[in-house]
Amino acid sequence: MFINMSEINIVDAPPGIEGSGFFATSIDKVIGLARSNSLWPLPFATSCCGIEFMATMGSHYDLGRFGAERLSFSPRQADVLMVMGTIAKKMAPVLKQVYIQMAEPRWVMAVGACASSGGIFDTYSVLQGIDEVIPVDVYVPGCPPRPEAILDGFQRIQDLVKNESGRRRNSDYYKELLGQYGIK
Amino acid sequence: MEETTLNNNINVKLTEKFGEKVTAVSEPYGLLTFVTYKDVIVNVLSHLKEELKFNFLTDITAVHYPGKDHGIAVVYHLHNMVEKVRIRIKVFISEQNPTIPTATTVWKGANWMERETYDLFGVKFEGHPDLRRILNMDDLGVHPMLKQYPLEDPNRVDKKDEFFGR
Amino acid sequence: MNHNHPVFTDNDPQSELVTLNLGPTHPATHGVFQNVLQLDGERIVSGVSTIGYIHRAFEKIAEHRPFYQITPLTDRLNYCSSPINNMGWHMTVEKLLNIQMPKRVDYLRVIIMELSRIADHIICNTIIGQDTGATTTFLYLFQFREHIYEIFEEVCGARLTTNIGRIGGFERDFNDIAFAKIDKFLKEFPKALKEFENLLTRNRIFIDRTAGVAEVTQEKALEYSWTGPLLRATGVDYDVRISDPYSSYQDFDFEVPVGTSGDIYDRYLVRNEEMWQSVRIIEQAVVKLKTEPKGIFHADVPEFYLPPKQEVYNNMEALIYHFKIVMGEIDAPKAEVYHAVEGGNGELGFYLINDGGRTPYRLHFRRPSFINYQMFAPMSEGMLLSDAIINMSSMNIIAGELDA
């Protein structure tokens, strides 16, 4: 099977000034481009959505082609926290601990109805959405969401990463947002 | 038909040994069910295990009947794999003092089953090696499966009644 | 031994115990349960298991839902093989209501249940492979889980949490595309399974890591109420499909594989052979279906099975039945029933007490993963840490079934 190189899509370069031997653009755009195509996810898989995530990582719906081939189970080395599955109130402190241990910049994706809002489990023991304990960037609805939906959510995270300003993490707005959750 | 004669035999053998401590014998859907009392339950279980060859403990659970005199029923399901017979034993205990001797002396597998029953219903198993909550958090304070406790978390502030038709 | 107070291995002042938190979040996506282990070097001295990190209170929810709304709840018990849970629940209610199922429905149910058993065992065996270092097998066989998902999608519309079937049969007949997919699966899967076996079964490294590790005697397994492939690996041939046949399993000719020593290699082999036997059962079911009259996909019980919409709009009786079924006001006997099916991990039991209301009075799930897992902490004393990890993955603990 001979693959013609011109059929393969490579990421577009950001707008900038080009010359022989140099390319000038804003640093935010270059860093955003590099980060968004090499995100290391932390799969926080608790239940059924975790199995759909395993299907997304498999060969049929490959997540690796978006740059997320290397899963990191250590929060210190991860970029995206993908929370997949129901979070019970017993698990909420553990989730918060994992989020606090992640280094900036970090993004959070709530996969599934249970992580987004408690799902079908409106009971005394289930946390009604992880945004009660940590700030969330992208919500992927579904019970469980199809792998295509998880990939779509991942691409939304990539858009957020690509367009993020370098100053956001130190801004007052962000500090106030984390303050609402009790995170310094 | 064969099932009913097998059940009959077991019934006869049990009433021989335990007399009036074995009551309310019935066979819903072919499964022999009887009621016994908490002071003989361990003897009944070990008799069933050793003599009548019910060597497998399928499950231990509880049911709450509020308003009844002895409101919590602890239900044991046993299984005789060789002769393919199942049996169900119920013990009624009072809600105010829900204690019953443990079955872990007869089967070690009763350990977590009894912890789950304690966690959800508050049934205290005397003699259990490690009776503490297993599924809920330790500081939950209540035993949630009892009928007086609601399903939903009463502390939710974001549920507006008019959206839920209340 | 009291698991809260570990014991020093010897009086050597040099030996110190390390506390390792094999915490709720750990790699290889096994599920959320915690083991706090005391280690002496690499050897485990004692361990305490903590579960409940995904307790969703299924039994309490079930007391507030009519019978047909409990099916999506049962999906989420053992979510790797949800059709078996769904069918088990439907059979429990059918036992309560004394409904006899036509043979064709039974055979269709058998096909779906065996497909989901294959899906469950694929996950377990490939994860054992991955934990010993062989990631390739995971990727190879997961393709076939996609094929099984396609068959489920053709029948009920969903991949994973299927909510398949209804009390009284199925919601629609299997169309030709579904049968074509089943035939295609039956042709391609044996080759892939053979390839998987060639990679792992006689692999020196795999055998060194799994044979002789975590042996369990039959008496100990029965003491701890083990069921399923774990119990069969120790040598006890207890299978609910043979012992209390349901859904016409007695019409099928299949064997129940049994191991000898209960170690991890035996568990792997038992599950592997069960996949071959499941393929055999599905082939027989497809042949038997050809002799049954076409078009029957539910029992003829209008009081319990929703009538077709055309009749609901035109026929008074059908309208009344539809209303009563959806409102939950069906005439179910006030009785208690226990029904067990052979899930992927063992005997999945449903204990239902009905008091004549719209919802069950009490529903209890006898969950095999919960009961199998209690032996993990006592069993891991004296084992090396890496052996304990593979032991945990070979027990196939599904967190949804553990906590319910």
Distance in Å, alpha carbon of A144 to nearest chain C alpha carbon: 7
Mean pLDDT, chain A, rounded, equals 89
Per-residue pLDDT at B82 exceeds 80: yes
pLDDT recorded at residue C331: 87
Residue B165 included in any domain: no
DSSP B29: G
Residue A56 included in any domain: yes
Radius of gyration of chain A (CA): 18
Residue C95 in contact with partner chain B when CB distance is under 8 A: yes
Give the residue from chain A lying closest to C59, CA to CA.
A123
pLDDT in tens, C241-252: 999 899 999 999
Are the beta carbons of B153 and A128 separated by less than 8 Å?
Answer: yes
pLDDT recorded at residue C13: 62
Distance in Å, alpha carbon of B153 to nearest chain C alpha carbon: 12
Give the residue from chain A lying closest to B144, CA to CA.
A124
Per-residue pLDDT at C9 exceeds 80: no
Contact at 8 Å (CB) between C165 and C90? Answer: yes
Contact at 8 Å (CB) between C152 and C164? Answer: yes
Residue A120 in contact with partner chain B when CB distance is under 8 A: no
Q: How confident is the model at residue C4 (pLDDT cuts 50, 70, 90)?
A: very low
Give every CB contact of residue C220 below 8 A, 6+ residues apart in sequence.
Answer: C375
CATH architecture type of domain C58-301+328-403: Orthogonal Bundle (1.10)
Given the cut 0.95, state whether the ipTM is greater than it.
no
Mutate to test the interface with C, among B31, B116, B132 (most CBs of C within 10 A): B116
Q: How confident is the model at residue B3 (pLDDT cuts 50, 70, 90)?
A: low
| Three-state secondary-structure class, residue B89 | strand
Task: Quickly list DSSP for chain A.
Answer: -PPPGGGS--PPPPS-EEETTEEE--HHHHHHHHHHTS--EEEEE-SHHHHHHHHHHSSSS-SGGGT--S---SGGG-SEEEEES--BTTTHHHHHHHHHHSPSS-EEEEESHHHHH-TT--STTB-S-GGGTS--SEEE--SSPPHHHHHHHHHHHHHHHHT--TTGGGSHHHHHHHHHTT--
Domain ranges in chain C are 58-301+328-403
Give the residue from chain B lying closest to C98, CA to CA.
B29
B136 neighbourhood in chain A, CB within 8 Å: 90, 125
pLDDT in tens, C80-139: 999 999 999 999 999 999 999 999 999 999 999 999 999 999 999 999 998 888 888 888
Outline where C157-304 has alpha helix (H): 176-200, 204-210, 218-223, 229-234, 240-243, 264-289
C403 neighbourhood in chain A, CB within 8 Å: 88
Residue A140 included in any domain: yes
Residue A117 in contact with partner chain B when CB distance is under 8 A: no
pLDDT in tens, C152-190: 999 999 999 989 989 889 988 999 999 999 999 999 999
In this prediction, residues C253-264 reach a mean pLDDT of 92
C338 neighbourhood in chain B, CB within 8 Å: 29, 31, 77, 86, 88
Per-residue pLDDT at C194 exceeds 90: yes
Residue B161 included in any domain: no
Out of C349, C361, C374, the one facing B59 most closely (by C-beta) is C349
DSSP C361: S
Q: Which residue, A62, A83, A52, is CA-closest to C123?
A: A52
Are the beta carbons of A123 and B152 separated by less than 8 Å?
Answer: yes
DSSP C244: S
Residue C217 in contact with partner chain B when CB distance is under 8 A: no
C57 neighbourhood in chain B, CB within 8 Å: 144, 151
- Residue B32, domain extent: 2-149
Give partners of C (≥3 CB pairs < 8 A): A, B
Q: Check which CATH number belongs to the domain holding A66 and give it.
A: 3.40.50.12280
In this prediction, residues C177-204 reach a mean pLDDT of 93
Distance in Å, alpha carbon of C33 to nearest chain B alpha carbon: 11
| Number of domains present in the structure of chain A | 1
Residue A99 included in any domain: yes
Cα(C124)–Cα(C139) distance, integer angstroms: 13
Phi, psi of C205 (to 5 degrees): -65, -40
Contact at 8 Å (CB) between A143 and C161? Answer: yes
pLDDT in tens, C52-70: 899 998 999 999 999 999 9
Residue B68 in contact with partner chain C when CB distance is under 8 A: no
Q: CA angle C351-C354-C357, nearest 5°?
A: 145
Cα(C185)–Cα(C189) distance, integer angstroms: 6
Dihedral over Cα of C214, C220, C223, C228: its sign:
positive
Residue A124 in contact with partner chain B when CB distance is under 8 A: yes
Say whether the peptide bond before residue A144 is cis (omega within 30 degrees of 0). Answer: yes
Task: Quickly list DSSP for C155-190.
Answer: HHS-SSS---SBTTB-SS---HHHHHHHHHHHHHHH
Are the beta carbons of B58 and C55 separated by less than 8 Å?
Answer: no
Residue B163 included in any domain: no
State what percent of residues in chain A have pLDDT above 90.
49
Lookup: tokens for C291: 């002799």
Q: Check which CATH number belongs to the domain holding B75 and give it.
A: 3.30.460.80
In this prediction, residues A174-178 reach a mean pLDDT of 91
B144 neighbourhood in chain A, CB within 8 Å: 124-125
Per-residue pLDDT at A148 exceeds 80: yes
Cβ contacts of A8-14, under 8 Å, gap ≥ 24: A11/A37
| Number of domains present in the structure of chain B | 1
Residue C368 in contact with partner chain A when CB distance is under 8 A: no
Per-residue pLDDT at B70 exceeds 50: yes
Lookup: tokens for C224: 């701890």
pLDDT in tens, B94-132: 999 999 999 999 999 999 999 999 999 999 999 998 898
Per-residue pLDDT at C323 exceeds 50: yes
Residue A75 included in any domain: yes
Distance in Å, alpha carbon of C227 to nearest chain B alpha carbon: 9
Residue B125 included in any domain: yes
Are the beta carbons of B63 and C361 separated by less than 8 Å?
Answer: yes
Sort strands B85-93 and C18-22 into parallel, antiparallel or unpaired: unpaired
pLDDT recorded at residue A11: 77
- Residue A56, domain extent: 36-180
Q: How confident is the model at residue B1 (pLDDT cuts 50, 70, 90)?
A: very low
pLDDT recorded at residue B11: 82
Out of A50, A120, A146, the one facing C29 most closely (by C-beta) is A50
Q: Hey, what amino acid is at B152?
A: E
Q: How confident is the model at residue B141 (pLDDT cuts 50, 70, 90)?
A: confident
pLDDT recorded at residue C269: 95
Q: How confident is the model at residue B30 (pLDDT cuts 50, 70, 90)?
A: confident
Out of C3, C347, C374, the one facing B112 most closely (by C-beta) is C374
Contact at 8 Å (CB) between A146 and A60? Answer: no
Mean pLDDT, chain C, rounded, equals 89
Highest mean pLDDT among B67-71, C159-163, C266-270: C266-270
pLDDT recorded at residue C7: 47
Residue C8 in contact with partner chain A when CB distance is under 8 A: no
